[in-house]
Amino acid sequence: MELRVIEKTEEELRIEVAGEGHTFMNVLKGTLLENDDVAAATYDVNPEQSGGQTEPILSITTEGGADPLDVLEDAAGDVSRKTDELRSAFKAASA
């Protein structure tokens, strides 16, 4: 996973997440949208026709003065916590 910030303002972020696909990006987007500070979040996995850009680009817009990078960091933490809970739920069910 290689990150490259394309555009960054107080409340907007466009960042390339190289090496990922729908599997992770959609989970991440879904989790971002659960955050009340996030006004909009989306990602685009460009097709090969789009001038060579084939890595997913994540776009986040926040509201209420939250820094989009902090929001992204929190979302990654949320995904990690969810997987952790899901793992223990699976282990409890199969034990």
Partner 1 sequence: MADEFDVEYIRGDDREARILVRGLTPAFANGLRRAMIADVPTLSIDTLRVVENSSVMFDEMIGLRLGLVPLTTPDDFEYGDTVTLSLDVEGPDTAYSGDLESSDPDVNPADEDVPIIQLNENPSGENQRIELEAEAVLDDGKSHAKQSGGVAVGYRHLRKVSVVGDRGEFDEEETNILRGVIETEDGELVPTDEFDHDLTERYPGKELEVEDVPGAFVFHVETDGSMTVEELVLRGIDSIESRADELQEKVAV
Interface residues with partner 1 (CB under 8 A) are 1, 3, 17, 20, 22-24, 26-31, 34, 69, 72-73, 76-87, 89-94
Minimum distance from residue 17 beta carbon to partner 1 (Å): 7
Six token digits for residue 56: 């997913």
Of 88, 87, 72, 90, the closest CA to residue 24 belongs to 72
Minimum distance from residue 29 beta carbon to partner 1 (Å): 7
Collapsed DSSP state (helix, strand, coil) of residue 69: helix
51 or 95: CB nearest partner 1: 95
Residue with tokens 């909009």: 40
